[in-house]
Amino acid sequence: MQIKSAEFLISNTNYKKCPLENKPEYAFIGRSNVGKSSLINMLTSHKDLAKTSSQPGKTQLINHFLINGEWYLVDLPGYGYARSSKTNREKWQKMILDYIKNRNNLVTIFVLVDSRIPPQTIDVEFINFLGEIQIPFVIVFTKTDKNKQQETAQTLSNYKKKLMESWEELPLFFLTSSETKYGKDRVLDYIELLNKDFKGQMNINN
Ligand code: GTP
Ligand code: MG
Protein backbone atom coordinates (compact mmCIF):
# COMPACT_ATOMS: atom_id res chain seq x y z
CA MET A 1 0.00 0.00 0.00
CA GLN A 2 1.20 3.51 -0.82
CA ILE A 3 0.85 6.14 1.88
CA LYS A 4 -0.42 9.29 0.19
CA SER A 5 -1.33 11.25 3.29
CA ALA A 6 -0.82 11.01 7.01
CA GLU A 7 -2.08 13.59 9.46
CA PHE A 8 -2.31 13.92 13.20
CA LEU A 9 -5.93 14.24 14.30
CA ILE A 10 -6.35 14.31 18.06
CA SER A 11 -4.91 13.24 21.42
CA ASN A 12 -7.16 11.86 24.14
CA THR A 13 -7.13 10.38 27.59
CA ASN A 14 -10.58 8.87 27.10
CA TYR A 15 -11.64 6.43 24.38
CA LYS A 16 -15.10 8.03 24.35
CA LYS A 17 -13.62 11.20 22.87
CA CYS A 18 -11.75 9.41 20.06
CA PRO A 19 -12.83 9.96 16.41
CA LEU A 20 -15.99 8.31 15.06
CA GLU A 21 -15.68 4.54 14.77
CA ASN A 22 -16.39 4.46 11.04
CA LYS A 23 -12.88 3.69 9.81
CA PRO A 24 -10.63 0.70 10.45
CA GLU A 25 -8.15 1.31 13.24
CA TYR A 26 -4.77 -0.20 14.20
CA ALA A 27 -3.13 0.54 17.53
CA PHE A 28 0.55 0.19 18.37
CA ILE A 29 1.33 -0.92 21.86
CA GLY A 30 4.31 -2.21 23.80
CA ARG A 31 6.75 -1.28 26.53
CA SER A 32 8.03 2.27 26.76
CA ASN A 33 10.88 2.92 24.36
CA VAL A 34 10.24 -0.19 22.24
CA GLY A 35 9.77 2.02 19.16
CA LYS A 36 6.01 2.49 18.67
CA SER A 37 6.16 6.13 17.62
CA SER A 38 9.24 5.55 15.45
CA LEU A 39 7.45 2.72 13.63
CA ILE A 40 4.49 4.98 12.89
CA ASN A 41 6.87 7.55 11.39
CA MET A 42 8.66 4.90 9.39
CA LEU A 43 5.46 3.38 7.98
CA THR A 44 4.09 6.77 6.98
CA SER A 45 7.46 8.18 5.79
CA HIS A 46 6.97 11.19 8.07
CA LYS A 47 9.94 11.96 10.26
CA ASP A 48 8.09 13.72 13.06
CA LEU A 49 4.45 12.70 12.74
CA ALA A 50 4.56 10.85 16.07
CA LYS A 51 6.81 12.28 18.77
CA THR A 52 9.74 10.03 19.67
CA SER A 53 12.41 10.19 22.36
CA SER A 54 15.38 8.25 23.61
CA GLN A 55 13.83 8.65 27.08
CA PRO A 56 11.02 6.20 27.84
CA GLY A 57 7.59 7.63 28.62
CA LYS A 58 7.41 10.08 25.71
CA THR A 59 3.91 9.19 24.46
CA GLN A 60 1.36 9.76 27.21
CA LEU A 61 -1.98 9.95 25.39
CA ILE A 62 -4.07 8.06 22.85
CA ASN A 63 -2.96 9.68 19.58
CA HIS A 64 -4.99 9.26 16.40
CA PHE A 65 -3.47 9.65 12.94
CA LEU A 66 -5.58 9.55 9.78
CA ILE A 67 -3.89 7.71 6.93
CA ASN A 68 -4.90 8.15 3.27
CA GLY A 69 -8.16 9.61 4.59
CA GLU A 70 -9.31 6.03 5.09
CA TRP A 71 -7.92 4.43 8.23
CA TYR A 72 -6.48 5.25 11.62
CA LEU A 73 -3.13 4.51 13.17
CA VAL A 74 -3.06 4.93 16.93
CA ASP A 75 0.05 5.62 18.97
CA LEU A 76 -0.37 4.61 22.60
CA PRO A 77 1.71 5.22 25.71
CA GLY A 78 4.04 2.40 26.64
CA TYR A 79 3.23 0.04 29.43
CA GLY A 80 5.64 -0.80 32.23
CA TYR A 81 7.37 2.55 32.45
CA ALA A 82 9.03 2.01 35.82
CA ARG A 83 10.05 5.59 36.53
CA SER A 84 6.55 7.09 36.48
CA SER A 85 4.60 7.17 39.73
CA LYS A 86 2.32 4.30 40.67
CA THR A 87 -0.75 6.55 40.34
CA ASN A 88 0.34 7.58 36.84
CA ARG A 89 1.01 4.00 35.82
CA GLU A 90 -2.43 2.95 37.02
CA LYS A 91 -4.04 5.87 35.21
CA TRP A 92 -2.31 4.93 31.92
CA GLN A 93 -3.16 1.30 32.36
CA LYS A 94 -6.84 2.08 32.82
CA MET A 95 -6.82 4.47 29.86
CA ILE A 96 -5.22 1.88 27.57
CA LEU A 97 -7.35 -1.04 28.73
CA ASP A 98 -10.60 0.95 28.44
CA TYR A 99 -9.57 1.94 24.93
CA ILE A 100 -8.71 -1.62 23.88
CA LYS A 101 -11.85 -3.15 25.34
CA ASN A 102 -14.30 -0.56 24.07
CA ARG A 103 -13.05 0.67 20.72
CA ASN A 104 -15.35 -1.04 18.23
CA ASN A 105 -13.42 -0.24 15.03
CA LEU A 106 -10.11 -1.54 16.41
CA VAL A 107 -9.23 -4.18 13.83
CA THR A 108 -5.91 -5.45 15.15
CA ILE A 109 -3.40 -4.50 17.79
CA PHE A 110 0.26 -4.43 16.86
CA VAL A 111 2.15 -5.55 19.94
CA LEU A 112 5.73 -4.34 19.65
CA VAL A 113 8.53 -6.21 21.36
CA ASP A 114 12.26 -5.57 21.30
CA SER A 115 14.05 -8.02 18.98
CA ARG A 116 17.21 -7.78 21.10
CA ILE A 117 15.93 -9.26 24.31
CA PRO A 118 14.31 -12.52 25.46
CA PRO A 119 10.54 -12.63 26.09
CA GLN A 120 9.69 -10.31 28.99
CA THR A 121 7.00 -11.33 31.47
CA ILE A 122 5.09 -8.09 31.03
CA ASP A 123 4.91 -8.60 27.23
CA VAL A 124 3.88 -12.23 27.47
CA GLU A 125 1.25 -11.37 30.08
CA PHE A 126 -0.14 -8.64 27.87
CA ILE A 127 -0.26 -10.95 24.85
CA ASN A 128 -2.03 -13.62 26.89
CA PHE A 129 -4.46 -11.02 28.19
CA LEU A 130 -5.36 -10.03 24.60
CA GLY A 131 -6.09 -13.69 23.96
CA GLU A 132 -8.35 -13.88 27.00
CA ILE A 133 -10.40 -10.89 25.91
CA GLN A 134 -10.26 -12.11 22.28
CA ILE A 135 -8.73 -9.08 20.65
CA PRO A 136 -6.90 -9.83 17.38
CA PHE A 137 -3.22 -8.96 17.46
CA VAL A 138 0.10 -9.51 15.72
CA ILE A 139 3.61 -9.25 17.14
CA VAL A 140 6.17 -6.83 15.74
CA PHE A 141 9.84 -7.27 16.58
CA THR A 142 11.46 -3.84 16.57
CA LYS A 143 15.02 -2.54 16.19
CA THR A 144 16.26 -5.50 14.14
CA ASP A 145 19.00 -3.25 12.71
CA LYS A 146 20.71 -3.50 16.08
CA ASN A 147 21.09 -7.30 15.79
CA LYS A 148 22.89 -9.84 13.74
CA GLN A 149 20.33 -11.87 11.78
CA GLN A 150 21.03 -14.87 13.92
CA GLU A 151 20.28 -12.97 17.12
CA THR A 152 16.88 -11.89 15.82
CA ALA A 153 16.18 -15.48 14.80
CA GLN A 154 17.05 -16.58 18.33
CA THR A 155 14.66 -14.04 19.91
CA LEU A 156 11.93 -15.16 17.52
CA SER A 157 12.49 -18.77 18.41
CA ASN A 158 12.44 -17.95 22.15
CA TYR A 159 9.12 -16.16 21.72
CA LYS A 160 7.61 -19.02 19.78
CA LYS A 161 8.61 -21.44 22.50
CA LYS A 162 7.25 -19.19 25.23
CA LEU A 163 3.92 -18.55 23.49
CA MET A 164 3.39 -22.21 22.67
CA GLU A 165 3.11 -22.73 26.44
CA SER A 166 -0.28 -21.01 26.37
CA TRP A 167 -1.32 -20.81 22.69
CA GLU A 168 -2.25 -23.58 20.29
CA GLU A 169 -1.54 -21.42 17.29
CA LEU A 170 1.11 -18.75 16.97
CA PRO A 171 0.18 -15.18 16.03
CA LEU A 172 1.58 -13.48 12.95
CA PHE A 173 5.06 -12.04 13.40
CA PHE A 174 6.67 -9.08 11.67
CA LEU A 175 10.33 -8.09 11.80
CA THR A 176 10.97 -4.37 11.51
CA SER A 177 13.55 -1.64 11.73
CA SER A 178 12.59 2.00 11.77
CA GLU A 179 16.20 2.81 10.91
CA THR A 180 16.46 0.77 7.72
CA LYS A 181 12.70 0.62 6.95
CA TYR A 182 12.89 -3.15 7.03
CA GLY A 183 9.41 -4.70 7.20
CA LYS A 184 7.61 -1.59 5.98
CA ASP A 185 5.90 -3.14 2.95
CA ARG A 186 4.92 -6.29 4.79
CA VAL A 187 3.18 -4.37 7.58
CA LEU A 188 1.45 -1.97 5.19
CA ASP A 189 0.30 -4.77 2.89
CA TYR A 190 -1.15 -6.60 5.88
CA ILE A 191 -3.07 -3.48 6.93
CA GLU A 192 -4.33 -3.08 3.37
CA LEU A 193 -5.66 -6.61 3.46
CA LEU A 194 -7.45 -6.01 6.76
CA ASN A 195 -8.87 -2.71 5.50
CA LYS A 196 -10.57 -4.62 2.69
CA ASP A 197 -12.10 -7.03 5.22
CA PHE A 198 -13.34 -4.09 7.27
CA LYS A 199 -15.03 -2.59 4.20
CA GLY A 200 -16.63 -5.97 3.47
CA GLN A 201 -17.96 -6.17 7.02
CA MET A 202 -19.36 -2.62 6.83
CA ASN A 203 -21.22 -3.50 3.62
CA ILE A 204 -22.73 -6.62 5.19
CA ASN A 205 -23.86 -4.72 8.30
CA ASN A 206 -25.38 -1.74 6.47
P1 GTP B 1 7.19 5.71 24.47
O2 GTP B 1 6.40 6.71 23.71
O3 GTP B 1 8.06 6.30 25.52
O4 GTP B 1 6.35 4.59 25.00
O5 GTP B 1 8.28 5.03 23.46
P6 GTP B 1 8.08 4.47 21.98
O7 GTP B 1 7.76 3.02 22.05
O8 GTP B 1 7.14 5.31 21.20
O9 GTP B 1 9.56 4.58 21.39
P10 GTP B 1 10.15 5.67 20.38
O11 GTP B 1 9.59 5.45 19.01
O12 GTP B 1 10.03 7.02 20.96
O13 GTP B 1 11.68 5.19 20.29
C14 GTP B 1 12.48 5.06 21.44
C15 GTP B 1 13.95 5.13 21.05
O16 GTP B 1 14.31 3.99 20.26
C17 GTP B 1 14.32 6.35 20.20
O18 GTP B 1 15.60 6.80 20.59
C19 GTP B 1 14.35 5.80 18.78
O20 GTP B 1 15.22 6.50 17.92
C21 GTP B 1 14.86 4.39 19.01
N22 GTP B 1 14.36 3.47 17.97
C23 GTP B 1 13.08 3.20 17.67
N24 GTP B 1 12.96 2.30 16.69
C25 GTP B 1 14.23 1.98 16.33
C26 GTP B 1 14.80 1.09 15.34
O27 GTP B 1 14.11 0.39 14.59
N28 GTP B 1 16.16 1.01 15.30
C29 GTP B 1 16.96 1.73 16.12
N30 GTP B 1 18.29 1.58 16.00
N31 GTP B 1 16.47 2.59 17.04
C32 GTP B 1 15.13 2.71 17.15
MG1 MG C 1 5.91 6.83 21.81
Task: Tell me which ligand sits closest to the C-alpha of residue 41.
Answer: 1
The pLDDT tens digits of the residues spanning 59-92 come to 889 999 999 999 999 999 888 766 667 777 788 8
- The CA 205 to ligand 2 mean position distance, Å, reads 35
Tell me the pairing of strands 6-12 and 71-75: unpaired
Q: Which listed ligand is nearest to 32 at the C-alpha?
A: 1
Instruction: State the distance from the centre of ligand 2 to the C-alpha of 30, rounded, in angstroms.
Output: 9
Closest residue CA from atom 2 of ligand 1 = 59
Q: Per-residue pLDDT for 195 more than 70? A: yes
Rg (CA), the chain: 16
pLDDT digits (tens, 9 = 90+) for 11-63: 999 999 999 999 999 999 999 999 999 999 999 999 999 999 888 888 889 99
Taking the C-alpha atoms of residue 79 and residue 81, their distance in angstroms, rounded to an integer, is: 6
pLDDT at 83: 65
What pLDDT sits at residue 120?
94
Q: What is the pLDDT at residue 82?
A: 61
